């Protein structure tokens, strides 16, 4: 650890007595300044103890002007008192004297945090963790900050995983008895936000025994129980929280949500009304009440309440989703199109981010995009929207991302309409089969039901005879009629071959079984189509069989192109983690698999976790701006990667670095939580 924590009052008293007897003892005075700062920073000592630490650090610097530790203590003390400019001067001096010291970078991180630069604060805390991996303070501060960052960014999983990793590192390094429960609480909340509900439950159950954290632990146990579908347990925990901490509207709103899930509508309404009596405008209580009214078939009242919520809180997506669901159920296409037009028209005029009255960051464009996606989803489920209505909206925005989304929506509508036609063909294959329609079926394969594709394969000789007459007219002689039948036979075989390929797009077990049967029982030409379908479904043996059948270089080249096209994107990217079970040599340092925790491998190129960790530490130094440089593992350049680094002559993309770091951190988190 970097500071004294346990028996802190006794330590401070002992050092005070010693300094009274030996006022010129610089070492003891530095220790006293450090203990005072620990009291101010980690143990709620406040400005009084920060001022004491500053005074003692200045006295040390009077006797020893080059004492970097005293400079850090002085700078941190000033930062804790929000005197950031003089704090920066002390810390700049400390960096010049000891640029690699963990304590210096810990102080810089706190200074950047209080200056509002959270990104740089994270980098400084990370550096401090690397320099002092056994110091719980750096891991604790970084873990807490990353959880705050995750909340501000919408809880991205990777940031939460990093928070969990550093909170666990802090717990493993013997934190002070006053900080350990707080770290457990923060870790449990990170588990809750990453969907590790059983782990969150284990951690929170331990905290129920701690008087200082009991009420908060019970509240979050209620949330965990809600996520796990244990609504009666959730009500019990939330009511116990209310008994300990008093009545709060958000607690009763969640109790109401539990009763709603249990189908106890009267109790749900009562809990909502209780919450609204405490806070008449409480959004979540009003939302739950509106959902309760919907369950009671009081649709008009529910819609009115949803509209009131959206008037007061335009970004409340659940209420907007319910309004869309009601309009979708009524098949009100005109209303949905008008709503979409209104949202798209307003989009370009909205700011990217603003601060609300509470100082929190609000992103109006993100909220509007989410509403647009909900409306488009509603329109696609109704399935009656003219694609031209969506294409007309392209003229209302200059945002390329939104324009692309509207274009995709128009294509989806068109796909849905064409898919309905294709299903009609597949239900009556004897009437509609043709090579041209077969190509359209392949293009629409993912939008078509598997059963319809299977039904479309069923063609009989009678179907061919009928098609020969219906499509070519009565023949004047038998020979002409037979020629017409043969033409339709070839159309039918093309149709069936293309349907077999389309079934491969579905890739289900039943589709594979059918394709295997056709590959073994059908004639050679249709067997080739069935094997192509199996290849599309991910069967490598089918492609090998096709390659064996290819008798000339042109045919083999066609199979090779087919194999390349059929590989999933992740397989084409090629890289994967391996352990020491496989024997590889790192391309950047020469280590073998058995010497490292894991390697990322593509083909014959491998990069070990240690080198990837080095790249992560030296990102700024190793980053390239050359768009021609391509990652050795993913094949990505700067065009399609956040960053590309060159380390010992090997190009490595940011995605590989993050994948490797995340893998190691997740393994550590899993081990810790499994043993809790």
HSE-up of residue 520 (Cα within 13 Å, Cβ side): 5
Q: Under DSSP, is residue 58 helix (H, G, I), strand (E, B) or coil?
A: helix
Q: Are residues 43 and 175 in the same domain?
A: yes
Is residue 273 one of the residues assigned to a domain?
no
Cβ neighbour number for residue 108 with a 10 Å cutoff: 26
Q: Look at residue 565 in the predicted model and tell me its pLDDT.
A: 64
Q: What percent of the chain has pLDDT over 90?
A: 66
Q: Are residues 154 and 71 in the same domain?
A: yes
CA distance 118 to 123: 9
Q: Are residues 145 and 107 in the same domain?
A: yes
Q: Are residues 486 and 519 in the same domain?
A: yes
Is residue 302 one of the residues assigned to a domain?
no
Q: Is the pLDDT of residue 568 over 50?
A: no
Residue 668, judged by CB atoms within 10 A of its CB (0-12, 13-18, 19+), counts as middle
CA distance 602 to 575: 4
HSE-up of residue 417 (Cα within 13 Å, Cβ side): 11
pLDDT digits (tens, 9 = 90+) for 449-506: 999 999 999 999 999 999 999 999 988 888 999 999 999 999 999 999 999 999 988 8
Is residue 287 one of the residues assigned to a domain?
no
Is residue 318 one of the residues assigned to a domain?
yes
Q: Are residues 637 and 506 in the same domain?
A: no
Q: Look at residue 101 in the predicted model and tell me its pLDDT.
A: 94
Phi, psi values for residue 540, rounded to 5°: -70, -25
Q: Look at residue 603 in the predicted model and tell me its pLDDT.
A: 76
Count, residues in the chain? 676
Question: Which of 64-68, 308-312, 345-349, 616-620 is predicted least confidently?
Answer: 616-620
Query: In this structure, are residues 164 and 194 in contact, taking their beta carbons and an 8 Å threshold?
Result: yes
- Bigger pLDDT: 417 or 92? 92
Q: Is the pLDDT of residue 567 over 60?
A: no
Strand 644-647 versus strand 605-608 pairing type: unpaired
Both tokens of 160, joined, read 């939460």
Q: How many angstroms separate the Cα of 352 from the Cα of each of 273, 349, 570?
A: 36, 10, 33
Q: Are residues 524 and 589 in the same domain?
A: no
The CA-based angle 294-295-297, given to 5 degrees, is 65
Name residue, tokens 């340092």. 589
Strand order of the β-sheet with 576-578 is: 576-578, 599-602, 605-608
Confidence of residue 571 (pLDDT cuts 50, 70, 90): very low
Chosen domain end from 519, 534, 567: 567
Chosen domain end from 415, 450, 483: 415
Is residue 509 one of the residues assigned to a domain?
yes
Q: If phi over 0 gives left and psi between -120 and 50 gives alpha, with beta otherwise, what is residue 155? A: left
**Quick one: three-class SS letters along 229-286?**
CCHHHHHHHHHHHHHHHCCCHHHHHHHHHHHHHHCCHHHHHHHHHHHHHHCCCCHHHH
Q: Are residues 408 and 436 in the same domain?
A: no
Q: Are residues 594 and 544 in the same domain?
A: no
pLDDT digits (tens, 9 = 90+) for 350-382: 888 787 666 667 788 888 999 999 999 888 888
Is residue 619 one of the residues assigned to a domain?
yes
Q: What percent of the chain has pLDDT over 70?
A: 96
Chosen domain end from 382, 415, 448: 415
Q: Is the pLDDT of residue 68 over 50?
A: yes
Phi, psi values for residue 523, rounded to 5°: -70, 165
Q: Are residues 486 and 383 in the same domain?
A: no
Nearest CA-CA partner of 390 in 341, 345, 349, 333:
341
Q: Are residues 397 and 440 in the same domain?
A: no
Is residue 214 one of the residues assigned to a domain?
yes
CA distance 116 to 126: 17
Q: Is the pLDDT of residue 402 over 50?
A: yes
Q: Look at residue 363 in the predicted model and tell me its pLDDT.
A: 81
Domain assignment of residue 590, given as a range: 574-674
Confidence of residue 574 (pLDDT cuts 50, 70, 90): low
CA distance 549 to 63: 89
Q: Is the pLDDT of residue 335 over 60?
A: yes
CA distance 239 to 251: 8
The set of long-range contacts for 283-290, using a CB threshold of 8 Å and a minimum separation of 24, is 283/309, 283/312, 283/313, 283/316, 284/250, 284/253, 284/254, 284/257, 285/249, 285/252, 285/253, 285/256, 287/316, 287/318, 287/319, 288/253, 288/256, 288/257, 288/260, 289/256, 290/319, 290/322
Q: Are residues 80 and 151 in the same domain?
A: yes
Q: Look at residue 570 in the predicted model and tell me its pLDDT.
A: 39
Is residue 305 one of the residues assigned to a domain?
no
Phi, psi values for residue 477, rounded to 5°: -150, 170
pLDDT digits (tens, 9 = 90+) for 155-189: 888 889 999 999 999 999 999 999 999 999 999 99
Q: Are residues 50 and 185 in the same domain?
A: yes
Confidence of residue 575 (pLDDT cuts 50, 70, 90): low
| Domains: count for the chain | 4
Q: What is the mean pLDDT of residues 390-410?
A: 90
Q: In 364-403, which positions are buried (b, 16+ CB within 10 angstroms) versus exposed (e)?
A: bbebbbebbebbbbbbeebeebebebbbebeebbeeeebb
Rank 334-343, 382-391, 573-582, 598-607 by mean pLDDT and report only the highest.
334-343
Average pLDDT, the chain: 90
């Amino acid at each position: 650890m970097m500071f004294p924590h346990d028996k802190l009052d006794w330590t401070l008293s002992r050092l005070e007595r010693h300094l009274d007897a030996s006022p010129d003892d610089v070492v003891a005075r530095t220790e006293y300044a450090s203990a005072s700062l620990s009291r101010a920073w980690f143990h709620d000592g406040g400005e009084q103890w920060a001022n004491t630490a500053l005074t003692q650090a200045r006295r040390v610097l009077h006797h020893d002007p080059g004492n970097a530790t005293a400079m850090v203590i002085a700078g941190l003390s000033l930062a804790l008192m929000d005197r950031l400019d003089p704090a920066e001067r002390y810390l700049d001096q400390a960096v010049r004297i000891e640029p690699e010291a963990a304590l210096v970078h810990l102080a810089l991180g706190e200074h950047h945090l209080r200056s509002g630069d959270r990104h740089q604060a994270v980098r400084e805390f990370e550096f401090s963790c690397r320099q002092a991996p056994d110091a719980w303070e750096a891991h604790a501060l970084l873990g807490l900050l990353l959880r705050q960052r995750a909340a501000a960014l919408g809880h991205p999983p990777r940031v939460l995983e990093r928070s969990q990793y550093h909170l666990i590192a802090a717990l493993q390094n013997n934190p002070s008895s006053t900080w350990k429960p707080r770290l457990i609480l923060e870790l449990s909340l990170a588990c809750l936000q990453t969907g590790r509900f059983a782990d969150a439950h284990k951690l929170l159950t331990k905290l129920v025994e701690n008087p200082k954290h009991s009420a908060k632990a019970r509240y979050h146990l209620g949330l965990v129980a809600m996520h796990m579908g244990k609504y009666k347990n959730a009500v019990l925990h939330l009511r116990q929280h209310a008994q300990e901490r008093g009545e709060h509207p958000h607690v009763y709103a969640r109790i109401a949500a539990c009763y709603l899930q249990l189908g106890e509508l009267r109790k749900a309404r009562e809990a909502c009304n209780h919450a609204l009596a405490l806070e008449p405008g409480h959004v979540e209580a009003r939302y739950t009440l509106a959902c309760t009214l919907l369950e009671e078939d009081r649709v008009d009242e529910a819609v009115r309440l949803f509209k009131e919520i959206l008037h007061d809180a335009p970004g409340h997506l659940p209420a907007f989703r319910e309004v869309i669901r009601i309009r979708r159920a009524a098949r009100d296409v005109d209303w949905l199109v008008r709503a979409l037009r209104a949202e798209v028209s307003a989009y370009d005029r909205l700011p990217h981010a603003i601060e609300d009255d509470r100082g929190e960051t609000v992103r109006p464009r993100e909220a509007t995009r989410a509403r647009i996606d909900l409306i488009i989803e509603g329109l696609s489920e109704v399935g009656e929207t003219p694609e031209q209505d969506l294409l007309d909206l392209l003229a209302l925005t200059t945002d390329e991302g939104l324009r692309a989304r509207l274009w995709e929506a128009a294509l989806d509508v068109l796909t849905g309409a064409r898919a309905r036609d294709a299903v009609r063909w597949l239900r009556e294959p004897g009437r509609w089969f043709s090579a041209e329609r077969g190509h359209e079926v392949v293009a629409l394969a993912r939008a078509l039901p598997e059963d319809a594709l299977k039904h479309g394969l069923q063609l009989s000789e009678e179907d061919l005879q009928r098609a020969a007459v219906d499509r070519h007219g009565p023949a004047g002689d038998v020979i002409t009629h037979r020629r017409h039948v043969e033409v339709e036979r070839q159309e039918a075989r093309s149709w069936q071959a293309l349907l077999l390929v389309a079934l491969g797009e579905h890739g289900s077990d039943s589709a594979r079984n059918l394709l295997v049967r056709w590959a073994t029982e059908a004639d050679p030409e249709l067997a080739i189509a069935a094997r192509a379908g199996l290849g599309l479904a991910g069967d490598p043996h089918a492609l090998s069989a096709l390659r064996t059948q290819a008798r000339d270089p042109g045919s083999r080249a066609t199979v090779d192109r087919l194999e390349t096209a059929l590989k999933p994107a992740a397989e084409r990217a090629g890289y994967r983690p391996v352990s020491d079970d496989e024997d590889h040599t790192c391309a950047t340092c020469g280590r073998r698999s058995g010497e490292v925790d894991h390697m990322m491998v593509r083909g014959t190129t491998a990069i070990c976790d240690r080198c990837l960790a080095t790249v992560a530490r030296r990102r700024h130094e190793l980053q390239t701006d050359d768009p021609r440089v391509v990652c050795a593992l993913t094949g990505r350049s700067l065009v399609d990667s956040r960053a590309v680094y060159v380390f010992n002559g090997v190009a490595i993309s940011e995605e590989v670095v993050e994948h490797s770091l995340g893998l190691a951190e997740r393994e550590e988190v899993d081990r810790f939580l499994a043993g809790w």
